[in-house]
Amino acid sequence: MNYETLHSLSPQELHTWALQQDQTDPLRAFRDRFFIPEREGKPLTYFCGNSLGLQPKTARAAIDKELITWQNHGVEGWFEGEESWLSYHRCCQQSLAKVVGAFPEEVCPMNHLTVNLHLMWASFYQPTPKRYKVLTIAGDFPSDQYAIETHLKFRGYDPAEALIEVSPRVGEYIIRTEDLLTSIEQNADELALVCMSGLNYYTGQVYDMKTIAAKAHSLGILVGFDLAHAAGNVSLQLHDWGVDFAVWCSYKYLNSGPGGVSGVFVHEKHHHSNMIRLAGWWGYDEARRFEMTKGFVPMNGAAGWQLSTPNIMALAVHRASLAIFDEAGIENLRQKSEALTGFLEFVIQRVNLRAGYEKIRLITPIDPVQRGSQLSLLIDEGGKQLFDKLVENGIIGDWREPNCIRLTPAPLYNTFEEVWKVGNVLGSVL
């Protein structure tokens, strides 16, 4: 959608245009599927789904259903009831597969993200005396940094020597794909693994995962991605891209509750290999799990990496949210996401145009293919004060030190009118 034609509109005319977009939005009804936070009885403009997604209205009923099973069956809930808990993870696999572009057996909801990252590393990071280094991006999400650092130390390597970090060029915020590919090629003889975010939490940049995976594989290097900010946000085709493994959380764009269950992807090409893994009893062959025999026999597919008895209540909320994604369609959501984020970019640039200089610097890529439902705004002076003004006006975003505001228009529950409001408040304050 070309927004340049809107520059001549007055704020009120632009408001009318935004309302018209909401009226014709084929996904507009999905907003009513979520609880919108309120302040003094008025709904807030919630642009923080990249940190914690909103609660589906079906979440409570989903939990209540399992509470009733627990109430009526006790421990037999694992085997009895309308749907036994023993194979509950399967209720999410089909939907998750659509979200990340995989076969159902390649995905499994389980554990928490950093736990899953360590589990995947235990299997996919198999260093040799020659190939032991890992390539990642500089300034990745702290949990990823800490996990990689400590895992390398656990294996006896000094992260300062074994970890290769690719940074943006001087004066830039975005890491160029060619720089990632060049670094992979230059260090190919020593690399055992490429492991990085698929979408940068700070800048909102979506990396070219397909190209990165193809380059690494051409040089015999395995590839894994953290999709915490990508799953449920951008179009993914993990199977077709040949990605070896991926992990993600469910409490951001997947709206599955604070600390919600994580998920993993393991490409089918690894399902029948004798991979080293850190095992637990819930990853054991389901048909024989309760025989309690010695010697680990994994379930087929990603489910074989499960560790412990799953949190059924968390899975119930996850399932309820994924049902909404099934109905809306990930490609439809992506289309609206691009439109909303493009409109947000427009209203921000309109503020800059009227100010006569670049008061707000956007460090998120302008190309819609290279970004998701997030824009990161740098404000050199008075950034925190501006953020506080947004909050005072009922706009909930995310503040990152020292001078960054992240705003995320999520297509399931945000509207064009809300984007207009952000622009209107920014313009009035600045």
Q: Which CATH code fits 4-33+329-429? A: 3.90.1150.10
Architecture of domain 62-328: 3-Layer(aba) Sandwich (3.40)
The answer to whether the predicted template modeling score (pTM) of the entire model surpasses 0.85 is yes
Residue closest to 177 by CA, chosen among 414, 370, 380, 384: 370
- How would you write the chain as a 3-class SS string? CCCHHHCCCCHHHHHHHHHHHHHHCCCHHHHHHECCCEECCEECEECECCCCCCCECCHHHHHHHHHHHHHHHHHHHHCCCCCCHHHCCHHHHHHHHHHHCCCHHHEEECCCHHHHHHHHHHHHCCCCCCCCEEEEECCCCHHHHHHHHHHHHHCCCCHHHHEEEECCCCCCCCCCHHHHHHHHHHCCCCEEEEEEECECCCCCEECCHHHHHHHHHHCCCEEEEECCCCCCCCCCCHHHHCCCEEEECCCCCCCCCCCCCCEEEECHHHCCCCCCCCCCHHHECHHHHHHCCCCCCECCCHHHHCCCCCCHHHHHHHHHHHHHHHHHCHHHHHHHHHHHHHHHHHHHHHHHHHHCCCCCEECCCCCHHHECCCEEEECCCCHHHHHHHHHHCCEECEEECCCEEEEECCCCCCCHHHHHHHHHHHHHHC
**CB-based contacts of 230: which residues, under 8 Å, 6+ apart?**
197, 198, 199, 206, 236, 248, 372
- Give the per-residue pLDDT at 331: 97
Contact of 10 with 395, CB cutoff 8 Å: no
Give me the residue spans of the domains in the chain.
4-33+329-429, 62-328
Residue 240 has phi, psi (to 5 degrees) of -65, -30
- Give the per-residue pLDDT at 357: 86
- Give the per-residue pLDDT at 7: 87
Cα 18 to Cα 200: distance, rounded to the nearest angstrom: 29
Contact of 347 with 420, CB cutoff 8 Å: yes
If phi > 0 it is left, if psi is from -120 to 50 it is alpha, else beta; for residue 25 that is beta
Cα 226 to Cα 247: distance, rounded to the nearest angstrom: 5
Cα 161 to Cα 2: distance, rounded to the nearest angstrom: 47
Residue closest to 136 by CA, chosen among 145, 127, 124, 147: 145
Contact of 341 with 410, CB cutoff 8 Å: no
Average pLDDT for consecutive 10-residue bins of the chain (430 residues)?
84 96 98 97 97 98 96 94 89 97 98 97 97 97 95 96 98 97 98 98 98 98 98 98 98 97 97 90 92 92 96 98 98 98 96 90 96 96 94 97 96 98 93
Contact of 371 with 207, CB cutoff 8 Å: no
Contact of 222 with 192, CB cutoff 8 Å: yes
- Give the per-residue pLDDT at 1: 67
Please give the C-alpha separations between residue 413 and each of 26, 53, 165, 213, 233, in angstroms, as whole numbers: 12, 10, 36, 33, 13
